[in-house]
């Protein structure tokens, strides 16, 4: 058993193949993390846009009478 392990540890071809396998696995994990990071950034941008639009709506209706608010909100929401 030790002879087989010694053969694998000293054979440059097998070492290169094992190194390639390890590098491919590492590259796959890195790509997976990059994809997850990109998705988080996309969701954060979407959330930021929604929050800014909600703030704009709140600013638009602040300090008005209910009838004026309904009229103003009609410009923000689509007509059925």
Q: What is the number of domains present in the chain?
A: 1
Q: Count the alpha carbons within 13 Å of 31 in the hemisphere toward its beta carbon.
A: 6
pTM of the model: 0.50
Range of the domain at 31: 2-76
* Alpha carbon distance 31, 28 (integer Å): 5
CB 35 within 8 A of CB 42: no
Q: Residues with Cβ < 8 Å from 60, sequence gap 6 or more?
A: 72, 76
**What would the pLDDT profile of 51-78 be if each residue is shown by its tens digit?**
888 877 777 767 777 777 777 777 776 6
* Distance (Å) of CA 33 to CA 19, 21, 39, 45: 21, 19, 10, 18
């Amino acid at each position: 058993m030790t002879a087989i392990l010694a053969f694998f540890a000293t054979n440059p071809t097998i070492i290169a193949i094992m190194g390639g396998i390890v590098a491919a696995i590492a590259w796959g994990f890195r790509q997976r993390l990059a994809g997850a990071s990109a998705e988080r950034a996309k969701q954060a941008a979407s959330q930021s846009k929604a929050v800014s639009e909600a703030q704009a709506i709140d600013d638009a209706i602040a300090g008005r009478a209910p009838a004026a608010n309904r009229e103003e909100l009609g410009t923000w929401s689509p007509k059925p």
